[in-house]
Structure 1
Amino acid sequence: MPGEVEIVDRRFADFVLGNASLERLATGMRWAEGPVYVADAGHLLVSDIPNDRILRWVEGAEMSVFRQPSNFANGHTRDRSGRLVSCEHGTRRVTRTEMDGSVTVLADSYRGRRLNSPNDVVVKSDGSVWFTDPTYGILSDYEGHKAPSELDGCYVFRFDPQTGELDVVADDMVKPNGLAFSTDETVLYVADSARTHDPGGPHHLCAYEVRDGRELHAPRVVGDVSPGVPDGLAVDDEDFLWCSAGDGVHCYAPDGTLLGRIRVPETVANCTFGDPKRNRLFIAATTSLYAIYLNRRGPQFP
Structure 2
Amino acid sequence: MRLKFCSTLVISFCSWQLMAQTSLPKTVAAGAQPVLVSSQFAFTEGPAADKKGNIYFTDQPNNAIWKYDTKGKLSLFLDKAGRANGLYFDRKGNLIACADEKDELWLISPKKKVTVLVNNFGNRRLNGPNDVWVAPDGGIFFTDPYYQREYWDRKQPDIKEQRVYYLAPGAKEPVIAAEDFKKPNGIIGTKDGKTVYVADIDGGKIYRYAVGEGGKLVNQEAVTNFTTDGMALDEDGNLYLCGNGIRVINKNGEQIGHIPIPESWTANACFGGKDGKLLFVTAGKSIYTVKMNVKGAE
Q: TM-score range by the shorter chain?
A: 0.7 to 0.9
- How far apart, CA to CA, are the structure 1 residues paired with 2:43 and 2:266? 10
Tell me, yes or no, if structure 1 residue 186 matches structure 2 residue 194.
yes
Aligned to 2:124: 113
- How far apart, CA to CA, are the structure 2 residues paired with 1:60 and 1:131? 30
- How far apart, CA to CA, are the structure 2 residues paired with 1:248 and 1:282? 12
Please list every run of 5 or more consecutive structure 2 residues that lacks an aligned counterpart in the other structure: 1-16
- How far apart, CA to CA, are the structure 2 residues paired with 1:278 and 1:60? 13
Given candidates 250, 261, 264, the residue that maps to 1:264 is 261
Assess if the C-alpha contact under 8 Å between 1:234 and 1:273 holds in 2.
Answer: yes
Assess if the C-alpha contact under 8 Å between 2:36 and 2:289 holds in 1.
Answer: yes
Q: Give the number of aligned pairs.
A: 280
Deviation of residue 4 (structure 1)?
4.2
Structure-2 change in CA distance of 1:87 and 1:178 (3 Å)? same
Where does structure 1 differ by over 6 angstroms across 4 or more consecutive aligned residues? none
Aligned to 1:199: none
Equivalent position amino acid for 1:218 in 2: N
Given candidates 101, 105, 108, the residue that maps to 2:112 is 101
Assess if the C-alpha contact under 8 Å between 2:168 and 2:214 holds in 1.
Answer: no
User: Under a length normalisation based on structure 2, what TM-score does the superposition of the two structures give?
Assistant: 0.88
The C-alpha deviation readout for 1:35-92, integer Å capped at 9, x for no partner, is: 112343x532111111211122236666332222212100000001111100011010
Structure-2 change in CA distance of 1:68 and 1:15 (3 Å)? same
- How far apart, CA to CA, are the structure 2 residues paired with 1:61 and 1:274? 11
Tell me, yes or no, if structure 1 residue 290 matches structure 2 residue 281.
no
Please list every run of 5 or more consecutive structure 1 residues that lacks an aligned counterpart in the other structure: 195-201
- How far apart, CA to CA, are the structure 1 residues paired with 2:267 and 2:51? 22
Within 5 Å, give how 1:27-176 maps onto structure 2: 27-40=39-52, 43-58=54-69, 63-136=74-147, 139-141=148-150, 146-176=154-184
Aligned to 1:6: 22
Assess if the C-alpha contact under 8 Å between 1:193 and 1:231 holds in 2.
Answer: yes
Assess if the C-alpha contact under 8 Å between 2:49 and 2:272 holds in 1.
Answer: yes
Equivalent position amino acid for 1:90 in 2: E
Instruction: Give % identity.
Output: 29
Structure-2 change in CA distance of 1:61 and 1:264 (3 Å)? closer
- How far apart, CA to CA, are the structure 2 residues paired with 1:83 and 1:234? 20
Equivalent position amino acid for 1:22 in 2: P
Equivalent position amino acid for 2:180 in 1: D
RMSD: 2.0
The C-alpha deviation readout for 1:240-294, integer Å capped at 9, x for no partner, is: 111112x211111111111111011111000000011111100001110001011
- How far apart, CA to CA, are the structure 1 residues paired with 2:110 and 2:30? 40
SS of residue paired to 1:50: helix
Aligned to 2:223: 222
The C-alpha deviation readout for 1:74-123, integer Å capped at 9, x for no partner, is: 00000011111000110100010124321111111001101111001011
Deviation of residue 145 (structure 1)?
5.5
SS of residue paired to 2:180: coil
User: Under a length normalisation based on structure 1, what TM-score does the superposition of the two structures give?
Assistant: 0.86
Aligned to 2:204: 203
Greater displacement, 169-178 / 48-57: 48-57
Aligned to 1:299: 297
- How far apart, CA to CA, are the structure 2 residues paired with 1:61 and 1:296? 20
- How far apart, CA to CA, are the structure 2 residues paired with 1:101 and 1:60? 22
- How far apart, CA to CA, are the structure 1 residues paired with 2:287 and 2:215? 34
Equivalent position amino acid for 1:57 in 2: Y
